[in-house]
Chain A
Protein backbone atom coordinates (compact mmCIF):
# COMPACT_ATOMS: atom_id res chain seq x y z
CA UNK A 1 0.00 0.00 0.00
CA UNK A 2 1.28 3.45 -0.88
CA UNK A 3 -1.07 6.06 0.54
CA UNK A 4 -0.95 9.76 -0.11
CA UNK A 5 -2.84 10.35 3.11
CA UNK A 6 -1.23 13.16 5.07
CA UNK A 7 -0.15 12.84 8.66
CA UNK A 8 -2.42 14.36 11.29
CA UNK A 9 -1.42 17.53 13.11
CA UNK A 10 0.42 17.10 16.37
CA UNK A 11 -0.97 18.83 19.40
CA UNK A 12 1.12 21.70 20.71
CA UNK A 13 -1.07 23.44 23.28
CA UNK A 14 -0.78 22.67 27.00
CA UNK A 15 2.15 20.33 26.57
CA UNK A 16 5.58 20.49 28.14
CA UNK A 17 8.08 18.75 25.89
CA UNK A 18 11.58 17.64 26.79
CA UNK A 19 13.76 16.24 24.02
CA UNK A 20 16.22 13.70 25.38
CA UNK A 21 19.02 11.90 23.56
CA UNK A 22 16.94 8.95 22.40
CA UNK A 23 13.41 9.71 23.49
CA UNK A 24 10.96 12.55 23.95
CA UNK A 25 9.21 13.26 27.24
CA UNK A 26 5.85 14.96 27.17
CA UNK A 27 3.79 16.28 30.04
CA UNK A 28 0.12 16.91 29.31
CA UNK A 29 -0.92 19.92 31.39
CA UNK A 30 -4.60 19.29 30.73
CA UNK A 31 -4.65 15.66 31.77
CA UNK A 32 -1.65 15.73 34.12
CA UNK A 33 -0.11 12.75 32.43
CA UNK A 34 3.49 12.19 31.49
CA UNK A 35 4.47 10.21 28.40
CA UNK A 36 7.72 8.86 27.09
CA UNK A 37 7.99 8.49 23.30
CA UNK A 38 10.75 6.26 22.00
CA UNK A 39 12.84 7.40 19.04
CA UNK A 40 10.45 6.08 16.38
CA UNK A 41 7.36 7.57 18.01
CA UNK A 42 9.27 10.86 18.49
CA UNK A 43 10.25 11.04 14.80
CA UNK A 44 6.70 10.29 13.69
CA UNK A 45 5.25 12.84 16.13
CA UNK A 46 7.68 15.53 14.97
CA UNK A 47 6.41 15.02 11.39
CA UNK A 48 2.75 15.23 12.33
CA UNK A 49 2.41 18.52 10.47
CA UNK A 50 -0.58 17.94 8.25
CA UNK A 51 1.56 18.01 5.09
CA UNK A 52 3.95 15.04 5.23
CA UNK A 53 2.30 11.95 3.78
CA UNK A 54 2.27 8.59 5.50
CA UNK A 55 4.38 7.04 2.74
CA UNK A 56 6.92 9.87 3.01
CA UNK A 57 7.00 9.25 6.73
CA UNK A 58 7.77 5.57 6.17
CA UNK A 59 10.69 6.63 3.97
CA UNK A 60 11.92 9.03 6.66
CA UNK A 61 11.88 6.23 9.25
CA UNK A 62 13.80 4.01 6.87
CA UNK A 63 16.38 6.73 6.21
CA UNK A 64 16.78 7.95 9.82
CA UNK A 65 16.31 4.78 11.83
CA UNK A 66 16.94 2.05 9.30
CA UNK A 67 13.46 0.61 9.70
CA UNK A 68 11.96 -1.38 6.81
CA UNK A 69 9.80 0.85 4.60
CA UNK A 70 6.36 0.00 5.92
CA UNK A 71 3.42 2.32 6.42
CA UNK A 72 2.00 0.04 9.10
CA UNK A 73 4.76 1.21 11.41
CA UNK A 74 3.67 4.80 10.83
CA UNK A 75 0.03 3.90 11.48
CA UNK A 76 1.02 2.07 14.63
CA UNK A 77 2.73 5.26 15.86
CA UNK A 78 -0.20 7.46 14.85
CA UNK A 79 -2.59 5.15 16.66
CA UNK A 80 -0.56 5.35 19.85
CA UNK A 81 -0.15 9.12 19.58
CA UNK A 82 -3.90 9.41 19.20
CA UNK A 83 -4.55 7.27 22.26
CA UNK A 84 -2.12 9.43 24.26
CA UNK A 85 -4.07 12.53 23.09
CA UNK A 86 -0.99 14.00 21.47
CA UNK A 87 -2.68 14.71 18.13
CA UNK A 88 -4.99 17.56 17.24
CA UNK A 89 -7.00 15.94 14.50
CA UNK A 90 -8.43 12.45 14.07
CA UNK A 91 -6.00 9.65 13.39
CA UNK A 92 -8.07 7.37 11.21
CA UNK A 93 -6.43 4.90 8.90
CA UNK A 94 -8.28 5.02 5.55
CA UNK A 95 -9.51 2.12 3.36
CA UNK A 96 -7.78 -0.88 4.79
CA UNK A 97 -9.34 -1.26 8.18
CA UNK A 98 -7.86 -1.39 11.62
CA UNK A 99 -4.32 -0.57 12.66
CA UNK A 100 -2.46 -3.85 13.22
CA UNK A 101 -1.28 -4.75 16.66
CA UNK A 102 2.35 -4.20 17.56
CA UNK A 103 2.96 -7.96 17.72
CA UNK A 104 1.54 -8.44 14.22
CA UNK A 105 3.78 -5.75 12.76
CA UNK A 106 6.80 -7.26 14.49
CA UNK A 107 5.97 -10.70 13.05
CA UNK A 108 5.34 -9.41 9.57
CA UNK A 109 8.53 -7.38 9.45
CA UNK A 110 10.58 -10.14 11.05
CA UNK A 111 11.68 -7.87 13.88
CA UNK A 112 13.05 -9.82 16.80
CA UNK A 113 15.06 -8.98 19.91
CA UNK A 114 16.63 -5.53 19.96
CA UNK A 115 15.26 -4.71 16.50
CA UNK A 116 11.75 -4.86 17.93
CA UNK A 117 12.65 -1.87 20.08
CA UNK A 118 12.58 0.19 16.90
CA UNK A 119 8.82 -0.05 16.72
CA UNK A 120 7.03 3.01 18.09
CA UNK A 121 6.33 2.88 21.80
CA UNK A 122 4.64 5.43 24.01
CA UNK A 123 4.68 4.68 27.71
CA UNK A 124 3.30 6.52 30.68
CA UNK A 125 5.86 7.78 33.12
CA UNK A 126 5.16 6.90 36.69
CA UNK A 127 7.56 8.42 39.16
CA UNK A 128 8.87 6.10 41.84
CA UNK A 129 7.92 7.14 45.36
CA UNK A 130 10.18 10.09 45.97
CA UNK A 131 9.78 12.98 48.29
CA UNK A 132 9.83 16.45 46.86
CA UNK A 133 13.22 18.04 46.80
CA UNK A 134 11.98 21.11 48.64
CA UNK A 135 14.36 21.59 51.52
CA UNK A 136 11.99 22.78 54.18
CA UNK A 137 8.56 24.22 54.71
CA UNK A 138 7.93 27.73 55.93
CA UNK A 139 5.97 28.70 59.05
CA UNK A 140 2.29 27.81 58.76
CA UNK A 141 2.77 25.17 56.04
CA UNK A 142 1.42 21.65 56.58
CA UNK A 143 3.83 19.06 57.97
CA UNK A 144 4.04 15.64 59.53
CA UNK A 145 7.48 15.90 61.14
CA UNK A 146 9.85 18.58 62.33
CA UNK A 147 12.34 17.44 59.69
CA UNK A 148 10.13 18.98 57.01
CA UNK A 149 10.00 22.42 58.63
CA UNK A 150 12.55 25.22 58.33
CA UNK A 151 12.16 25.77 62.07
CA UNK A 152 12.73 22.09 62.74
CA UNK A 153 9.43 21.99 64.63
CA UNK A 154 6.16 20.58 63.33
CA UNK A 155 3.68 22.14 65.70
CA UNK A 156 0.04 21.66 66.67
CA UNK A 157 -2.42 21.20 63.86
CA UNK A 158 0.40 19.72 61.76
CA UNK A 159 1.69 23.16 60.84
CA UNK A 160 5.32 24.23 60.76
CA UNK A 161 6.28 26.67 63.51
Chain B
Protein backbone atom coordinates (compact mmCIF):
# COMPACT_ATOMS: atom_id res chain seq x y z
CA UNK B 1 0.00 0.00 0.00
CA UNK B 2 2.76 2.41 0.97
CA UNK B 3 4.67 1.68 -2.24
CA UNK B 4 1.56 2.44 -4.32
CA UNK B 5 0.87 5.73 -2.58
CA UNK B 6 4.49 6.84 -2.21
CA UNK B 7 4.66 10.45 -3.52
CA UNK B 8 1.40 9.80 -5.35
CA UNK B 9 0.25 13.40 -4.73
CA UNK B 10 3.07 14.87 -6.81
CA UNK B 11 2.28 16.38 -10.23
CA UNK B 12 4.52 13.69 -11.73
CA UNK B 13 4.71 10.79 -9.24
CA UNK B 14 7.66 8.42 -9.41
CA UNK B 15 7.20 5.16 -11.27
CA UNK B 16 5.65 2.41 -9.15
CA UNK B 17 8.37 -0.05 -8.25
CA UNK B 18 6.25 -2.65 -6.46
CA UNK B 19 5.12 -6.01 -7.73
CA UNK B 20 1.78 -7.09 -9.20
CA UNK B 21 1.10 -8.82 -5.88
CA UNK B 22 1.60 -5.49 -4.05
CA UNK B 23 -0.88 -3.89 -6.39
CA UNK B 24 -3.43 -6.65 -6.03
CA UNK B 25 -3.21 -6.39 -2.25
CA UNK B 26 -3.51 -2.62 -2.32
CA UNK B 27 -6.36 -2.23 -4.84
CA UNK B 28 -9.29 -3.11 -2.52
CA UNK B 29 -7.93 -0.76 0.16
CA UNK B 30 -7.47 2.03 -2.37
CA UNK B 31 -11.12 1.72 -3.39
CA UNK B 32 -12.43 1.35 0.13
CA UNK B 33 -10.56 4.28 1.62
CA UNK B 34 -11.05 6.89 -1.11
CA UNK B 35 -7.46 6.66 -2.37
CA UNK B 36 -8.30 5.06 -5.74
CA UNK B 37 -7.76 8.33 -7.62
CA UNK B 38 -4.31 8.68 -6.11
CA UNK B 39 -3.66 5.07 -7.05
CA UNK B 40 -4.62 5.78 -10.65
CA UNK B 41 -2.52 8.96 -10.72
CA UNK B 42 0.51 7.03 -9.58
CA UNK B 43 -0.04 3.87 -11.62
CA UNK B 44 -1.66 5.15 -14.80
CA UNK B 45 1.49 4.83 -16.88
CA UNK B 46 2.76 1.62 -15.37
CA UNK B 47 -0.11 -0.83 -15.24
CA UNK B 48 -1.68 -2.55 -18.19
CA UNK B 49 -4.67 -0.44 -19.39
CA UNK B 50 -6.62 -3.58 -20.25
CA UNK B 51 -6.67 -4.80 -16.64
CA UNK B 52 -9.65 -4.56 -14.34
CA UNK B 53 -7.60 -2.68 -11.75
CA UNK B 54 -6.63 0.02 -14.26
CA UNK B 55 -10.23 0.40 -15.43
CA UNK B 56 -11.55 0.57 -11.88
CA UNK B 57 -8.97 3.11 -10.72
CA UNK B 58 -9.56 5.26 -13.80
CA UNK B 59 -13.31 5.15 -13.28
CA UNK B 60 -12.84 6.20 -9.65
CA UNK B 61 -10.67 9.11 -10.79
CA UNK B 62 -13.40 10.23 -13.19
CA UNK B 63 -16.07 9.94 -10.52
CA UNK B 64 -13.98 11.85 -8.01
CA UNK B 65 -13.33 14.57 -10.61
CA UNK B 66 -17.08 15.05 -10.98
CA UNK B 67 -17.60 14.86 -7.24
CA UNK B 68 -14.98 17.58 -6.78
CA UNK B 69 -16.78 19.82 -9.28
CA UNK B 70 -20.08 19.18 -7.50
CA UNK B 71 -18.56 19.97 -4.12
CA UNK B 72 -17.21 23.26 -5.46
CA UNK B 73 -20.71 24.18 -6.65
CA UNK B 74 -22.01 23.44 -3.18
CA UNK B 75 -19.28 25.42 -1.45
CA UNK B 76 -19.82 28.52 -3.60
CA UNK B 77 -23.54 28.31 -2.78
CA UNK B 78 -23.04 27.69 0.94
CA UNK B 79 -20.44 30.32 1.76
CA UNK B 80 -22.40 33.37 0.54
CA UNK B 81 -25.51 32.08 2.37
CA UNK B 82 -23.56 31.96 5.64
CA UNK B 83 -21.92 35.34 5.01
CA UNK B 84 -25.34 36.88 4.27
CA UNK B 85 -26.47 35.63 7.68
CA UNK B 86 -23.52 37.40 9.29
CA UNK B 87 -21.57 34.18 9.90
CA UNK B 88 -17.90 33.96 8.98
CA UNK B 89 -17.31 30.37 7.82
CA UNK B 90 -13.90 28.78 7.85
CA UNK B 91 -13.50 25.83 5.51
CA UNK B 92 -11.26 23.02 6.79
CA UNK B 93 -10.10 19.58 5.63
CA UNK B 94 -11.98 18.47 2.44
CA UNK B 95 -11.60 21.22 -0.13
CA UNK B 96 -8.95 23.02 1.94
CA UNK B 97 -6.83 19.84 1.80
CA UNK B 98 -7.70 19.04 -1.84
CA UNK B 99 -6.44 22.42 -3.05
CA UNK B 100 -2.87 21.35 -2.29
CA UNK B 101 -3.08 18.44 -4.77
CA UNK B 102 -2.29 18.86 -8.47
CA UNK B 103 -5.83 17.67 -9.39
CA UNK B 104 -8.93 18.11 -7.23
CA UNK B 105 -10.02 14.57 -8.12
CA UNK B 106 -7.08 13.16 -6.20
CA UNK B 107 -8.53 14.12 -2.85
CA UNK B 108 -12.20 13.14 -2.59
CA UNK B 109 -14.23 14.24 0.40
CA UNK B 110 -17.70 13.25 1.44
CA UNK B 111 -18.74 16.25 3.48
CA UNK B 112 -17.98 19.93 3.71
CA UNK B 113 -16.33 20.73 7.03
CA UNK B 114 -17.01 24.29 8.15
CA UNK B 115 -15.91 25.92 11.38
CA UNK B 116 -18.15 28.70 12.65
CA UNK B 117 -18.39 30.57 15.93
CA UNK B 118 -22.09 29.79 16.35
CA UNK B 119 -23.37 26.46 15.01
CA UNK B 120 -27.02 27.14 15.93
CA UNK B 121 -27.10 30.31 13.83
CA UNK B 122 -25.28 28.58 10.99
CA UNK B 123 -27.82 25.72 11.07
CA UNK B 124 -30.64 28.23 10.77
CA UNK B 125 -28.94 29.91 7.82
CA UNK B 126 -28.50 26.55 6.10
CA UNK B 127 -32.08 25.44 6.72
CA UNK B 128 -33.36 26.02 3.21
CA UNK B 129 -34.64 23.57 0.61
CA UNK B 130 -31.45 23.78 -1.40
CA UNK B 131 -28.83 23.98 1.35
CA UNK B 132 -30.39 21.27 3.51
CA UNK B 133 -29.41 18.71 0.88
CA UNK B 134 -25.72 19.50 1.19
CA UNK B 135 -23.63 17.30 3.42
CA UNK B 136 -22.23 19.92 5.77
CA UNK B 137 -20.38 19.17 8.98
CA UNK B 138 -20.41 22.25 11.21
CA UNK B 139 -17.83 22.62 13.96
CA UNK B 140 -18.45 25.24 16.62
CA UNK B 141 -15.22 27.13 17.19
CA UNK B 142 -13.30 24.35 15.48
CA UNK B 143 -14.12 21.93 18.31
CA UNK B 144 -12.57 18.47 17.98
CA UNK B 145 -10.42 19.81 15.17
CA UNK B 146 -7.97 22.32 16.52
CA UNK B 147 -6.54 23.09 19.92
CA UNK B 148 -5.81 26.74 19.13
CA UNK B 149 -8.31 29.48 20.18
CA UNK B 150 -10.80 29.90 17.34
CA UNK B 151 -10.31 33.67 17.28
CA UNK B 152 -6.60 33.12 16.62
CA UNK B 153 -7.35 30.67 13.80
CA UNK B 154 -9.80 33.13 12.20
CA UNK B 155 -7.43 36.08 12.63
CA UNK B 156 -4.68 34.20 10.78
CA UNK B 157 -6.95 32.67 8.15
CA UNK B 158 -6.65 33.49 4.45
CA UNK B 159 -9.18 34.09 1.69
CA UNK B 160 -8.88 32.00 -1.46
CA UNK B 161 -10.86 32.75 -4.60
CA UNK B 162 -13.07 29.84 -5.59
CA UNK B 163 -15.12 30.51 -8.72
CA UNK B 164 -15.48 34.16 -7.73
CA UNK B 165 -16.30 33.47 -4.07
CA UNK B 166 -13.80 34.37 -1.37
CA UNK B 167 -13.48 31.22 0.73
CA UNK B 168 -11.65 31.52 4.05
CA UNK B 169 -9.41 28.70 5.16
CA UNK B 170 -6.97 28.51 8.10
CA UNK B 171 -3.35 29.55 7.64
CA UNK B 172 -1.01 26.87 6.31
CA UNK B 173 0.36 26.38 9.84
CA UNK B 174 -3.04 25.94 11.49
CA UNK B 175 -4.41 23.80 8.70
CA UNK B 176 -1.50 21.39 8.69
CA UNK B 177 -1.90 21.15 12.47
CA UNK B 178 -5.59 20.34 11.97
CA UNK B 179 -4.72 17.64 9.43
CA UNK B 180 -2.12 16.00 11.67
CA UNK B 181 -4.23 16.08 14.85
CA UNK B 182 -7.28 14.82 12.97
CA UNK B 183 -5.27 11.90 11.57
CA UNK B 184 -4.04 11.03 15.06
CA UNK B 185 -7.48 11.31 16.67
CA UNK B 186 -8.77 8.76 14.17
CA UNK B 187 -5.86 6.36 14.43
CA UNK B 188 -4.50 7.25 10.96
CA UNK B 189 -6.70 4.57 9.39
CA UNK B 190 -7.24 6.39 6.10
CA UNK B 191 -4.04 6.46 3.98
CA UNK B 192 -5.35 9.59 2.27
CA UNK B 193 -4.77 11.56 5.48
CA UNK B 194 -1.05 10.82 5.41
CA UNK B 195 -1.00 11.83 1.73
CA UNK B 196 -2.70 15.12 2.77
CA UNK B 197 0.31 15.83 4.95
CA UNK B 198 2.71 15.07 2.10
CA UNK B 199 0.74 17.30 -0.29
CA UNK B 200 0.51 20.14 2.25
CA UNK B 201 4.24 19.98 2.99
CA UNK B 202 4.96 20.37 -0.72
CA UNK B 203 3.17 23.71 -0.98
CA UNK B 204 4.32 25.45 2.20
CA UNK B 205 6.35 28.54 1.57
CA UNK B 206 9.54 29.85 3.18
CA UNK B 207 7.48 31.96 5.55
CA UNK B 208 5.84 28.87 7.10
CA UNK B 209 6.16 29.29 10.87
CA UNK B 210 7.10 25.87 12.26
CA UNK B 211 6.72 27.05 15.85
CA UNK B 212 3.11 28.09 15.26
CA UNK B 213 2.44 24.77 13.51
CA UNK B 214 4.05 22.63 16.23
CA UNK B 215 2.56 24.63 19.12
CA UNK B 216 3.93 24.83 22.63
CA UNK B 217 2.68 21.63 24.28
CA UNK B 218 5.70 19.27 24.34
CA UNK B 219 3.63 16.06 24.05
CA UNK B 220 1.70 17.32 21.04
CA UNK B 221 4.84 18.70 19.42
CA UNK B 222 6.28 15.21 19.66
CA UNK B 223 3.13 13.59 18.24
CA UNK B 224 3.20 15.98 15.31
CA UNK B 225 6.91 15.51 14.63
CA UNK B 226 6.49 11.71 14.77
CA UNK B 227 3.60 11.91 12.29
CA UNK B 228 5.66 13.96 9.84
CA UNK B 229 8.50 11.48 10.11
CA UNK B 230 6.16 8.56 9.42
CA UNK B 231 4.74 10.45 6.41
CA UNK B 232 8.32 10.78 5.24
CA UNK B 233 9.36 7.17 5.80
CA UNK B 234 6.18 5.54 4.48
CA UNK B 235 5.15 7.89 1.69
CA UNK B 236 8.19 9.99 0.90
CA UNK B 237 6.80 13.28 2.29
CA UNK B 238 9.34 16.05 1.88
CA UNK B 239 10.68 17.25 5.22
CA UNK B 240 13.55 19.26 3.77
CA UNK B 241 11.96 22.51 5.00
CA UNK B 242 11.38 21.15 8.51
CA UNK B 243 13.63 22.18 11.40
CA UNK B 244 16.36 19.76 12.47
CA UNK B 245 14.60 18.74 15.68
CA UNK B 246 11.63 17.50 13.62
CA UNK B 247 13.77 15.68 11.08
CA UNK B 248 15.72 13.93 13.80
CA UNK B 249 12.87 13.06 16.16
CA UNK B 250 12.91 9.47 17.44
CA UNK B 251 9.77 7.67 16.31
CA UNK B 252 8.77 4.63 18.35
CA UNK B 253 8.63 1.53 16.17
CA UNK B 254 5.03 0.74 17.15
CA UNK B 255 3.79 3.95 15.51
CA UNK B 256 4.67 3.10 11.91
CA UNK B 257 3.55 -0.50 12.39
CA UNK B 258 0.23 0.73 13.76
CA UNK B 259 -0.34 3.03 10.78
CA UNK B 260 0.27 0.19 8.32
CA UNK B 261 -1.96 -2.14 10.29
CA UNK B 262 -4.79 0.40 10.48
CA UNK B 263 -4.74 0.88 6.72
CA UNK B 264 -5.54 -2.77 6.23
CA UNK B 265 -7.86 -3.17 9.19
CA UNK B 266 -10.43 -0.43 9.44
CA UNK B 267 -11.99 -0.84 6.04
CA UNK B 268 -13.27 -4.21 7.17
CA UNK B 269 -15.17 -2.56 9.95
CA UNK B 270 -17.56 -0.72 7.72
CA UNK B 271 -20.00 -3.60 7.54
CA UNK B 272 -19.75 -4.50 11.22
CA UNK B 273 -22.74 -4.20 13.53
CA UNK B 274 -22.73 -1.62 16.32
CA UNK B 275 -21.22 -3.10 19.46
CA UNK B 276 -24.24 -1.95 21.51
CA UNK B 277 -26.49 -3.99 19.26
CA UNK B 278 -24.17 -6.99 19.50
CA UNK B 279 -24.24 -6.84 23.31
CA UNK B 280 -28.01 -6.45 23.38
CA UNK B 281 -28.85 -9.17 20.87
CA UNK B 282 -25.97 -11.68 20.79
CA UNK B 283 -24.04 -11.14 24.01
CA UNK B 284 -22.04 -14.39 23.64
CA UNK B 285 -20.31 -12.93 20.54
CA UNK B 286 -19.34 -9.74 22.40
CA UNK B 287 -15.83 -10.89 23.48
CA UNK B 288 -14.87 -11.73 19.88
CA UNK B 289 -16.35 -8.46 18.65
CA UNK B 290 -14.44 -6.50 21.30
CA UNK B 291 -11.19 -8.17 20.25
CA UNK B 292 -12.00 -7.39 16.62
CA UNK B 293 -12.58 -3.74 17.48
CA UNK B 294 -9.66 -3.52 19.86
CA UNK B 295 -8.55 0.15 19.81
CA UNK B 296 -5.38 1.00 17.96
CA UNK B 297 -2.34 2.27 19.85
CA UNK B 298 -2.42 5.66 18.13
CA UNK B 299 -5.89 6.71 19.21
CA UNK B 300 -5.41 5.11 22.61
CA UNK B 301 -2.29 7.20 23.17
CA UNK B 302 -3.80 10.41 21.84
CA UNK B 303 -7.00 10.09 23.86
CA UNK B 304 -4.92 9.55 26.99
CA UNK B 305 -2.64 12.46 26.15
CA UNK B 306 0.29 10.04 26.39
CA UNK B 307 3.68 10.67 24.88
CA UNK B 308 4.69 8.55 21.87
CA UNK B 309 7.51 6.64 23.51
CA UNK B 310 8.85 3.10 23.42
CA UNK B 311 6.69 1.85 26.29
CA UNK B 312 3.97 -0.67 25.54
CA UNK B 313 0.64 0.81 24.50
CA UNK B 314 -1.38 -2.00 26.05
CA UNK B 315 -2.47 -0.19 29.26
CA UNK B 316 -3.59 2.80 27.19
CA UNK B 317 -5.49 0.57 24.78
CA UNK B 318 -7.14 -1.24 27.68
CA UNK B 319 -8.17 2.04 29.30
CA UNK B 320 -9.53 3.39 26.00
CA UNK B 321 -11.43 0.17 25.28
CA UNK B 322 -13.01 0.27 28.76
CA UNK B 323 -14.03 3.90 28.40
CA UNK B 324 -15.65 3.23 25.02
CA UNK B 325 -17.39 0.11 26.24
CA UNK B 326 -18.62 1.97 29.32
CA UNK B 327 -20.03 4.70 27.13
CA UNK B 328 -21.87 2.19 24.94
CA UNK B 329 -23.28 0.32 27.94
CA UNK B 330 -24.46 3.56 29.57
CA UNK B 331 -26.14 4.68 26.38
CA UNK B 332 -27.69 1.25 25.79
CA UNK B 333 -29.15 1.23 29.28
CA UNK B 334 -30.45 4.80 28.93
CA UNK B 335 -32.03 3.92 25.59
CA UNK B 336 -33.64 0.83 27.17
CA UNK B 337 -35.03 2.92 30.06
CA UNK B 338 -36.45 5.55 27.72
CA UNK B 339 -38.15 2.81 25.66
CA UNK B 340 -39.86 1.33 28.72
CA UNK B 341 -40.80 4.68 30.35
CA UNK B 342 -44.47 5.69 29.86
CA UNK B 343 -44.93 8.41 27.33
CA UNK B 344 -46.08 11.76 28.64
CA UNK B 345 -47.61 12.86 25.38
CA UNK B 346 -50.04 10.01 24.79
CA UNK B 347 -53.13 9.23 26.83
CA UNK B 348 -55.72 11.20 28.72
A residues contacting B by CB (< 8 A) are: 16-18, 20, 23, 25-27, 34, 36, 125-136, 138, 143-148, 150-158, 161
Q: Are A125 and B59 in contact (CB under 8 A)?
A: yes
Interface centre among A17, A126, A147 (most CB of B within 10 A): A147
Q: Are B190 and A147 in contact (CB under 8 A)?
A: no
Q: Are A132 and B110 in contact (CB under 8 A)?
A: yes
Q: Are A150 and B144 in contact (CB under 8 A)?
A: yes
- Residues of B with C-beta under 8 A to A136: 186
In the bound complex, CA of A86 to CA of B327 (Å): 52
Q: Are B332 and A155 in contact (CB under 8 A)?
A: yes
In the bound complex, CA of A146 to CA of B182 (Å): 16
Q: How far is the CB of B283 from chain A (nearest CB, A)?
A: 15
- Residues of A with C-beta under 8 A to B313: none
Which residue from B56, B182, B270 sits with its C-beta under 8 Å from A148? B270
Q: Mark B253-288, 1 if CB is under 8 A from A, else 0.
A: 000000000000011011111111100100000000
- Residues of A with C-beta under 8 A to B31: 128-130
- Residues of A with C-beta under 8 A to B328: 153, 155, 161
* Given A18-B69, A130-B32, residue A135 in contact with residue B186 (CB < 8 A): yes
- Residues of B with C-beta under 8 A to A145: 269-274, 293
- Does B156 count as interface, using CB distance less than 8 angstroms? no
Which residue from B36, B110, B190 sits with its C-beta under 8 Å from A128? B36
CB within 8 Å of A: which B101-147 residues: 107-111, 135, 137, 144
* Given A131-B33, A133-B109, residue A25 in contact with residue B66 (CB < 8 A): yes
A-B contact pairs, 20 of them (CB 8 A): A16-B73, A20-B62, A20-B65, A34-B63, A127-B59, A130-B32, A131-B33, A131-B267, A132-B110, A133-B190, A143-B274, A145-B271, A146-B274, A148-B270, A154-B275, A155-B327, A155-B331, A156-B280, A156-B335, A156-B336
* Given A147-B189, A153-B327, A156-B331, residue A134 in contact with residue B275 (CB < 8 A): no
- Residues of A with C-beta under 8 A to B60: 127-128, 130
Which of chain A's residues has its CB closest to B28's CB? A129
- Does B21 count as interface, using CB distance less than 8 angstroms? no
- Residues of B with C-beta under 8 A to A158: 274, 277
